[in-house]
Amino acid sequence: MRDEKDGFWNPEVELMGAEDIRRLQLERLKGVLQRCKNSPFYRRWFRDAGFDPDAVRTLEDLRSLPPMDKDTLRSVEPWEFLTVPREDIVRMHSSSGTTGRATVIFHTWKDIQAWTELGARCLYMTGVRRSDVFQNMMGYGLFTGGLGFHYAAERLGAMVIPSGSGNSKRQIYLMREFGTTVIHVIPSYALYLLDVFREMGLDPRRDTRLRIALVGAEPHTESLRRRLEEAYGFKAYNSYGLSEMSGPGVAFECPFQEGMHVWEDAFILEVLDPRTLEPVPEGEEGELVFTTLHREGMPLLRYRTRDLAFVYPGRCRCGREHRRISRIKGRSDDMFIVKGVNIFPMQVEKVLLETVGVGTNYQIVLDMVGSREEMRVRVEVTDEIWHGDVRELQSLQKRITAALRDEILVTPIVELVEPGSLPKGEGKAVRVVDRRVDLGGE
Ligand SMILES: [Zn+2]
């Protein structure tokens, strides 16, 4: 069937030249806009913006339509977005909705197939093959991380172990019993799992057959990736997706690991300045904004992700001309301000994971002490440090404080804590606990 040597799941699309991609995008965009006329929401949205979907001649013409965001999705009944009859919908997914009403995405059968196809493309690109055993350690359910790649791995022909999230000892048992070679995992959980391996007297390098990890669903640093690769002996590939764009499979790393290729036959990517909503100059950091080109049930036009990243210049050595985005620096929503300084949790993580003696979990706690803001970074240390010489603990604390001050320009209180003592959820890690009262902002 497919040539195993070439490394491309869908060579025709993956090796399309940049100009052909643009041409395909325009053709598909026109189709999407026609389809949107069936949706009560889009009819209003177009009318209010004075946007004529029939007048679109170039990709740039789309810019006269205002971008939409989570609030836009929440502001109307989700059914109003549909461009197909309700009975054509076969599945819904929803974001976690931790802040306000959850956002809902509806999928037709064709939508699920298209998403599966993109996922298979991602997996194949990293070297996953039919002979692999794919342990899917993502939550199944409304969250898209689980089901998205479950079907993708099956489509590819790998054997899937739908282990879901949590239950760490069982995860390790399954890995060993069934010879898992590929895992799909949240990076903070993979880091935590190392503690469980150690507790069980096991070494993942020696005692598993893992060779590939697909890590995604939360922003993480390059240092965290390297740490996982060293400890597990696998190659970790960065994955990008969000439920509004169906889920994982929007962008993925190729074997060269220099940014994640956005599948531009399926999405129009824009990188905008989040304040002015104008495109940033090529290569500069901005907010990722996507338009779906392959979704029929509920297309989204110019959807603001809040994710900040930049586009790599030039061509990738793998031959794909689908543009590459950088690792996500953080969601603009994740950024917090202490003493007037903008800080991303990722900056703190980078410092911590580059420091020897730091364990597998950390937490940032923000408090008001009188009228003064206080930033506390609670850091789990390794067993060796915790049970070792107290002077080493003190010296580690000083080193972390100094390194954090250099990175974030604020001096936090660094508190070193016992391994395993910080709260650990099974899903995405909660890195920042903000206990400050309303600071009189918005
Ligand atoms: Zn590449």
Domain boundary assignment for the chain: 1-333, 336-434
State in Å: Cα 140 to ligand 1 middle.
29
Q: Supply the pLDDT for residue 2.
A: 47
Cα(308)–Cα(286) distance, integer angstroms: 5
- Which residues are found with C-beta within 5 Å of the ion, ligand 1? 254, 256, 316, 318, 320
Task: Report yes or no: 187 and 224 within 8 Å, Cβ to Cβ.
Answer: yes
Domain 336-434 classification at class level:
alpha beta
Q: Give whole-number Cα distances, 204 to 111, 132, 150, in Å.
A: 37, 17, 23
Query: In this predicted structure, what is the pLDDT of residue 1?
Result: 45
For residue 101, give the 3-state DSSP assignment: coil
Q: Between the CA atoms of 381, 384, 387 and 392, what dihedral angle is there, to the nearest 10 degrees?
A: -70
Rounded to the nearest angstrom, the distance between the alpha carbon of 148 and the centre of ligand 1 is: 22
- The total number of residues shown for the chain amounts to 442
Q: How far away, in angstroms, is 164 Cα from ligand 1 center?
A: 29
What pLDDT does residue 85 have? 97
pLDDT at 442: 32
pLDDT (0 to 100) of residue 79? 95
CA of 285 from ligand 1 middle (Å) equals 20
Question: How far apart (Å, rounded) are the C-alpha atoms in residues 164 and 186?
Answer: 11
Here the tokens at position 118 are 């993109």
> What CA–CA distance (Å, rounded) separates 26 from 39?
20
> From the CA of 218, how far away is ligand 1's center (Å)?
22
Q: Please give the distance, rounded to the nearest whole angstrom, from the Cα atom of residue 135 to the centre of ligand 1.
A: 25
Structure tokens at 92: 């819904």
The DSSP letter of residue 217 is S
CATH architecture of the domain formed by 1-333: 3-Layer(aba) Sandwich (3.40)
Distance between Cα 25 and ligand 1 center (Å): 20
> What is the chain's pLDDT, residue by residue, as a tens digit (442 residues)?
444 447 899 999 999 999 999 999 999 999 999 999 999 999 999 999 999 999 999 999 999 999 999 889 989 999 999 999 999 999 999 876 555 677 899 999 999 999 999 999 999 999 999 999 999 999 888 888 899 999 999 999 999 999 998 889 999 999 999 999 999 999 888 988 999 999 999 999 999 999 999 998 777 788 889 999 999 999 999 999 999 999 999 999 999 999 999 999 999 999 999 989 999 998 999 999 999 999 999 999 999 999 999 999 999 999 999 999 998 877 766 778 888 888 888 888 888 988 889 988 899 999 988 888 899 999 999 999 999 999 999 999 999 999 999 888 889 999 999 998 988 766 667 788 888 865 433 3
Alpha-carbon separation of residue 28 from 32, 66, 246, 266 (angstroms): 6, 19, 18, 9
| pTM, rounded to two decimals | 0.83
